[in-house]
Amino acid sequence: MKPLILSHYTLTNALGRGIDATSLAIKSGKSGLHACDFETLQLDTYIGRVAGIEDEPISGELVNYDCRNNRLAQIALQQDNFLEAAGRAKTKYGPDRIGLFLGTSTSGILETELAYKNYTTKGLGVPDTYHYHETHDNFSLASYIRQVLNITGPSFVVSTACSSSAKVFANASRFIECGFCDAAIIGGVDTLCSTTLHGFSALELMSSDRCRPADINRNGISIGESAGFVLLEKHESKKEGIMLVGYGESSDAYHMATPHPEGLGMADAMSSSLKRAALTANDISYVNLHGTATKTNDATEDKAVVKTLGTNVPCSSTKGWTGHTLGAAGITEAIISVICLKQQLIPKSLNTETIDSSIEANIVLDTHHKPLTYVLSNSFGFGGNNCSLIFGHS
């Protein structure tokens, strides 16, 4: 593939607002997870919640879009001068030549949950303030951001559960390659809601503690929320920065909620990303694992990593910091991979005390500096939907 440069990017999650907040937390080893205090939920678990969303409603012309998911999008877009970068891209390419591809798994479903709880199930219909189309609908995120940024190019939302906002890199690459757009703004937003907290609880996949990826005593995920955005442009030789050099996608064709036991689909996605980048396993300096901290994911991902990349390459999951941000996990960990490349930093597997002896990959237990050339980031979702991305320096 023709590499694409990540000209500008921003990230907001439980670690704070903007790139520096995540970067500082990774260096200091401070987790963003805390005991669940979301709405009135009584669940024995930890969550990665973004502070202050409740106090920053969307107002003005776009008031109907006001919901937790779009509020987090609003907050994230205001960090790291992203709006200015989008404005410059608009001037350079024209608003109709910028594509917008975003990932989410549950969009603004919290609005529907609250409408049902407070009105519908009490026979009260729905309140005038409930707007399905602008909040809960999976396209509402892109519809909202098209209007905030005033861009008019091709756009859609990818919703493939926990790989959603990794796959948008592939969509943007294909659309730019085809000439459907000249540049793209990509990203993803997923926010806390009862559906996912109770849903993963019903699947018995939630940890009662801060998640511990690859640990012998790991007992499930901690759910977080996050929003990240990237401006992707064609690479011009004079530009320096971090580039997307490869992506790989695959399906498990095995089970809706459990990965293939040998990690075949995961391995396929990684191999395909290497092939597209014209790289070999030895070129990868660090792997940011999907690493959800469930028994099954970490064991099968380990098999896939060992099969594809061997046992030497340093690996870690950063979900101990952010929690599993589901539909936003792809973009969150892509941007963390970029931070690692920029700072030549390998983050440890936070909260991991004793590595599961059956795990053969090189799980990193101390955050340290090391020269990095290429970083691979994994994202895997329900339905056996897998995506791997490779980033490198220009």
Partner 1 sequence: MDTIYLNGIGILAPGFNGWNNTRSILRGEAQYDANQTSDIAVSLMSPREKRRANKTSLLAVHLAEEAIQHADIAPDTLIPVFSSFSGDLQITDKLCTSLADDDPIISAFLFHNSVQNAPAGYWSIATHSTNPSTSIACGCYSFHAAFLEAASVLSTEKKDVLLAVYDLDTPYPLCTQCRADAACGVAMVLSNTNTHQTIAALAVSLTNEITEPYQHSNDEINNLIQKNTSLHAISLLDPIANQYSGKISLNFLDSMSIIITHLNPQNINLINSCDSSREHLTRS
Enzyme catalytic residues? 162, 290, 324
Footprint of partner 1 on 327-366 (CB under 8 A): none
Stretch that binds partner 1, among 52-60, 65-73, 232-240, 256-264 (CB under 8 A): 256-264
Identity of the residue, 119 or 299, whose beta carbon is nearer to partner 1 in the bound complex: 119
Residue 178: Cβ-neighbour burial (10 angstroms; 0-12, 13-18, 19+): exposed
Identity of the residue, 136 or 218, whose beta carbon is nearer to partner 1 in the bound complex: 136
253 is a site residue for partner 1 (CB under 8 A)? yes
Residue 54: Cβ-neighbour burial (10 angstroms; 0-12, 13-18, 19+): exposed
Size of the site for partner 1 (CB under 8 A): 72
Question: What does 280-309 look like in DSSP terms, one character per residue?
Answer: -GGGEEEEE------HHHHHHHHHHHHHHH
Question: Which of 24, 257, 261, 262: binder of partner 1 (CB under 8 A)?
Answer: 257
Q: Going residue by residue from 165 to 184, which x/- string records binding to partner 1, judged by CB under 8 A?
A: --x---x-xxx-xxxx----
Footprint of partner 1 on 364-383 (CB under 8 A): 381-383
Q: Going residue by residue from 97 to 136, which x/- string records binding to partner 1, judged by CB under 8 A?
A: --------x-x-x--xx-xxx--xx---xx---x-xx--x
Identity of the residue, 21 or 139, whose beta carbon is nearer to partner 1 in the bound complex: 139
Contact call for residues 28 and 336 (beta carbons, < 8 A): no
Footprint of partner 1 on 269-288 (CB under 8 A): 269
Contact call for residues 375 and 337 (beta carbons, < 8 A): yes
Identity of the residue, 34 or 139, whose beta carbon is nearer to partner 1 in the bound complex: 139
263 is a site residue for partner 1 (CB under 8 A)? no
Cα dihedral across residues 79, 80, 81, 83: positive or negative: negative
Identity of the residue, 175 or 286, whose beta carbon is nearer to partner 1 in the bound complex: 175
96 is a site residue for partner 1 (CB under 8 A)? yes
Cα dihedral across residues 315, 275, 257, 133: positive or negative: positive
Identity of the residue, 23 or 171, whose beta carbon is nearer to partner 1 in the bound complex: 171
Instruction: Find all residues with CB under 8 Å of 374, minimum gap 6, and list them.
Output: 245, 277, 279, 283, 284, 285, 390, 391, 392
Query: What residues pair up with 233 in beta bridges, in sequence order?
Result: 5, 183
Instruction: Find all residues with CB under 8 Å of 42, minimum gap 6, and list them.
Output: none
256 is a site residue for partner 1 (CB under 8 A)? yes
Identity of the residue, 247 or 321, whose beta carbon is nearer to partner 1 in the bound complex: 247
241 is a site residue for partner 1 (CB under 8 A)? no
Write down the least CB distance from residue 147 to partner 1, Å: 11
Question: What does 199-244 look like in DSSP terms, one character per residue?
Answer: HHHHTT-B-SSS--TTBTT---B-EE-EEEEEEEEEPPTT--SEEE
Which of 148, 116, 111 is CA-nearest to residue 131? 111
Question: Which of 7, 78, 152, 344: binder of partner 1 (CB under 8 A)?
Answer: 152
3 is a site residue for partner 1 (CB under 8 A)? no
Distance of CA 74 to the CA centre of its chain: 17
Identity of the residue, 250 or 351, whose beta carbon is nearer to partner 1 in the bound complex: 250
210 is a site residue for partner 1 (CB under 8 A)? no
137 is a site residue for partner 1 (CB under 8 A)? yes
Write down the least CB distance from residue 100 to partner 1, Å: 10
Question: Which of 250, 332, 349, 362: binder of partner 1 (CB under 8 A)?
Answer: 250
Helix (H, G, I), strand (E, B) or coil at 355: strand
Stretch that binds partner 1, among 196-204, 220-228, 316-324, 352-360 (CB under 8 A): 196-204
* Pair type for strands 155-158 and 223-224: unpaired
How many Å is the maximal CA-CA distance in the chain? Answer: 63
307 is a site residue for partner 1 (CB under 8 A)? no
What span, in angstroms and rounded, lies between the C-alpha atoms of 119 and 142? 28
Footprint of partner 1 on 16-45 (CB under 8 A): 42
Contact call for residues 192 and 206 (beta carbons, < 8 A): no
Stretch that binds partner 1, among 5-13, 66-74, 141-149, 368-376 (CB under 8 A): 141-149
Q: Quick one: tokens of 264?
A: 């075949």
Question: Which of 160, 191, 222, 316: binder of partner 1 (CB under 8 A)?
Answer: 160
Which of 206, 238, 208, 209 is CA-nearest to residue 223? 206
